[in-house]
Amino acid sequence: MLFQPINKNYHEFHIDRDKDLCINCQVCVRQCSYEAHYWDKARNKVMHDSSKCIGCHRCEALCPTAALHIRKKPSDFRGNASWRPVFIENIYKQADTGGVLLAGMGSPVDIPIYWDRMLLDASQVTNPSIDPLREPMELDTYLGAKPSRIEVTQGTDGKPKLKTRTTPQLKLKYPILFSAMSFGSINFNLHRAMARAATELGTYYNTGEGGLHKSLYKYGANTIVQVASGRFGVHKDYLQAGAGIEIKVGQGAKPGIGGHLPGEKINDKVSETRMVPIGSDAISPAPHHDIYSIEDLLQLIFALKEASEYKAPVSVKIAAVHNVAAIASGVVRAGADIVAIDGMRGGTGAAPAMTRDNVGIPIELALASVDQRLRDEGIRNQASIIAGGGIRCSADVIKAIALGADAVYMGTGTLIAVGCTLCGRCYTGKCPWGIATNDPKLSRRQNPDIAAKKMVNLVRAWGHEIEEMLGGMGLNSIESLRGNRDKLRAVGLSDTEMDILGVKHAGR
């Protein structure tokens, strides 16, 4: 029996076209990778199908006469507090397809954002502020295990000389790194742009689980190479190419599950780098099949240190989950030099929507609990902490460091800087902005030189703001802020939340 799917007309966005302004230039037709705009030969003009619109706003941004306006579809379901439209629409889709609902980018659900509920202290009379324009400010950050004590001797030239042997460190000019985004989930132009930007900024970018293309090995001094459960692109040369190595155990957007890069995204370059056939799906298993205990993790950590000839610090990336503090303690005791914690608001190229929106905890709570646990156990200096999954601005960076992070990972913000509008359809491979796609025509929309410049501009701008905020607090070093929760005050949080965060309420 023929029938029309119930959800055909329950689409999210509506395209408004001003007939007086539209000149039928077909720019929107050429720019829309989802074919929401098309040339109607019978009518001899441009038409549109709103049901195909994903709300990327590219047509609206590039229309030469500003004839287009994309808005949420005005019609809605009957109001019901339990059955919000998203649940109804999802049931219609799954009843038609029988499939898992996929989603990209970070979770849009309305969970508390604790960054917005915390305010920073500022200096006044007895503790004067510092002018960052006229006085030196120290943003340099070192990631890696620190010795509990150091010994200094006098050199033959009469100058002090460090006697204590230190472990490898990653030196950052800014306490910001580019998050793990694999080659394949985003295209080569963006990977090259991140590598260039990290090199210019004196920080690092993470390859993600997709390996490192050979042409990018020259940026190895500013690269963190990742080892995930699928082991895509992992070999000796790869491990020795990076300045740091990261074991990905969990990801904030999809804790407890693996990864899946559709075969449509596996072109010749991705195939060569990931070491999988062109056009075949690249599936990462949920667990590492050689890690079922902390002892197993310890073996892998030291195997990677051995492979890098003990020149690269090893990081372990874990998702922010309920018992994250205990997990982080075990990771540090297993020999990790860095613990990277990824909160549930972290972005993703593809994840089951129900997992992305309902599994894990916010990074603020996870970060505070991990920092406090490591301090209570006396092992905080044995590893650095990187926080990620929901870093939106320089104020978030400052607050994360005050809660105990040494540095932060920035992923979604990096993509927004080069045009991403968070349409959340990364898994389709049709990204209109040329980011989460390997389609040659779409990928060309990202110029690596321009993209790198935008990334550099963003981090430098955040760096200036961080210096201003530090100076306003009477601090001249980012290190002085690390774990200094007395510089934070909460607004409108419960006693339990403030206890976990380790902060007082405003006015106290």
Q: Would the annotation count 25 as a binding residue? A: yes
Quick check: helix, strand or coil at residue 460? helix
Provide mean pLDDT across the span 436-460.
96
Task: Give the end of a domain, one of 99, 122, 152.
Answer: 99
Task: Give the end of a domain, one of 99, 123, 144.
Answer: 99
Q: Is the pLDDT of residue 1 over 60?
A: no
Q: Is residue 121 within 8 Å of 148, Cβ to Cβ?
A: no
Q: In sequence order, what DSSP letters do the residues of 98-120 get, joined into one string?
A: -SPPEE-SS--S----GGGGEEE
Q: What is the pLDDT of residues 264-293, one digit of tens each?
A: 888 888 998 888 898 888 888 989 999 999
Confidence at residue 353, expressed as pLDDT on a 0 to 100 scale: 92
Q: Are residues 328 and 433 in the same domain?
A: yes
Using CA atoms of 112, 115, 116, 121 in order, give the dihedral in degrees to the nearest 10: 150
In the chain, the amino acid numbered 59 is C
- Neighbouring CB atoms inside 10 A of 8's CB total 10
Q: Are residues 88 and 182 in the same domain?
A: no
Provide mean pLDDT across the span 153-160.
85
Using CA atoms of 288, 294, 297, 299 in order, give the dihedral in degrees to the nearest 10: -130
Q: Is residue 404 within 8 Å of 482, Cβ to Cβ?
A: yes
Percent of the chain predicted with pLDDT > 90:
79
Question: Cα(88)–Cα(392) distance, rounded to whole angstroms?
Answer: 31
Give Cα 91 distance to the centre of its chain. Answer: 30
Give Cα 3 distance to the centre of its chain. Answer: 42
What burial letters (b/e) apply to 68-95, b meaning 16+ CB within 10 Å?
bebeebeeeeeeeeeeebeebbeeebee
Confidence at residue 3, expressed as pLDDT on a 0 to 100 scale: 64
Query: Greater confidence, 63 or 73?
Result: 63
Q: Is residue 343 within 8 Å of 399, Cβ to Cβ?
A: no
**CATH number of the domain within which 414 lies:** 3.20.20.70
Provide mean pLDDT across the span 183-212.
95
Q: Would the annotation count 393 as a binding residue? A: no
Pairing of strands 488-490, 259-261: unpaired
Q: Is residue 435 within 8 Å of 423, Cβ to Cβ?
A: no
Q: Is residue 334 within 8 Å of 370, Cβ to Cβ?
A: no
Provide mean pLDDT across the span 437-459.
96
Residue 39's φ and ψ, nearest 5 degrees, are -95, 120
Tokens of 484: 């200094």
Task: Give the end of a domain, one of 84, 99, 114.
Answer: 99
Please check whether residue 349 lies inside any domain of the structure. yes
Question: Cα(478)–Cα(463) distance, rounded to whole angstroms?
Answer: 11
Q: Are residues 301 and 386 in the same domain?
A: yes
Q: Are residues 355 and 221 in the same domain?
A: yes
Q: Are residues 89 and 199 in the same domain?
A: no
Q: Are residues 60 and 189 in the same domain?
A: no
Q: What is residue 8's DSSP assignment?
A: G
pTM here is 0.93
| Element (DSSP H or E) covering residue 127 | none
Q: What stretches of 4-62 adopt beta strand conformation (E)? A: 13-17, 37-40, 45-48
Pairing of strands 118-120, 488-490: antiparallel
Please check whether residue 259 lies inside any domain of the structure. yes
Q: Would the annotation count 63 as a binding residue? A: yes
Provide mean pLDDT across the span 189-218.
96
Q: Which domain holds residue 233?
A: 175-505
Q: Which residues contact 270 (CB under 8 A, 6 or more apart)?
A: 183, 184, 210, 261, 438
Q: Are residues 181 and 299 in the same domain?
A: yes
Q: Would the annotation count 59 as a binding residue? A: yes
Q: What is the mean pLDDT of the chain?
A: 93
Please check whether residue 113 lies inside any domain of the structure. no
Please check whether residue 157 lies inside any domain of the structure. no
Closest C-alpha among 46, 70, 53 to residue 10: 53
Q: What is the pLDDT of residues 463-500, one digit of tens each?
A: 999 999 999 999 999 999 999 999 999 999 999 999 99
Q: Is the pLDDT of residue 154 over 90?
A: no
Please check whether residue 247 lies inside any domain of the structure. yes
Q: Is the pLDDT of residue 379 over 80?
A: yes
Tokens of 43: 């009518």
List C-alpha distances in Å: 69 to 12, 59, 195, 424, 445: 14, 9, 36, 19, 22
Q: Are residues 255 and 382 in the same domain?
A: yes
Q: Are residues 78 and 192 in the same domain?
A: no
Q: How many domains does the chain have?
A: 2
In the chain, the amino acid numbered 143 is L
Place of tokens 């120290």: 138
Please check whether residue 408 lies inside any domain of the structure. yes
Q: Are residues 363 and 230 in the same domain?
A: yes
Quick check: helix, strand or coil at residue 224? strand
Q: Are residues 277 and 418 in the same domain?
A: yes
Q: Is 19 exposed, middle or buried (0-12, 13-18, 19+ CB in 10 A)?
A: exposed
Tokens of 388: 């990620």
Q: Is the pLDDT of residue 2 over 70?
A: no
Please check whether residue 161 lies inside any domain of the structure. no
Q: Is the pLDDT of residue 337 over 90?
A: yes
Q: Are residues 344 and 442 in the same domain?
A: yes
Provide mean pLDDT across the span 375-393.
96
Confidence at residue 165, expressed as pLDDT on a 0 to 100 scale: 84
Q: Would the annotation count 431 as a binding residue? A: no
Q: In sequence order, what DSSP letters do the residues of 236-303 get, joined into one string?
A: HHHHHHSSEEEEE---TTSTT--EEE-GGG--HHHHHHHTS-TT--EEE-SS-TT-SSHHHHHHHHHH
Pairing of strands 160-162, 152-154: antiparallel
Please check whether residue 239 lies inside any domain of the structure. yes
